Amino acid sequence: MQPVIEAYPNATFVLLHGSYPYSRDAGYLASVYKNVYVDFGEVFPVVSRHGQCSVVKQLLEMTPTNKVMWSSKQ
């Protein structure tokens, strides 16, 4: 992803589903690049409770809180 993000610095990238199972990597990208955000809302229907906790912990370890998003279906 880094070459693409660097090639398009004016585009906004939203990494969906917490980039599961690469949540920590997504957090890193969001912390390094001003145009990258992480949305983790849709990871919950597909992973166990333990997996859900793990995704949230990994994202919050690396990602600035203003770059973490929650999607929902309504």
Looking at residue 15, its pLDDT comes to 94
pTM of the model: 0.86
- Domain layout of the chain by residue ranges: 2-69
Looking at residue 73, its pLDDT comes to 55
d(CA 42, CA 14): 13
Looking at residue 5, its pLDDT comes to 97
48, with CB counted inside 10 A (0-12, 13-18, 19+), is: exposed
17-74 pLDDT tens trace: 888 889 999 999 999 999 999 998 888 888 899 998 999 999 999 899 999 998 755 4
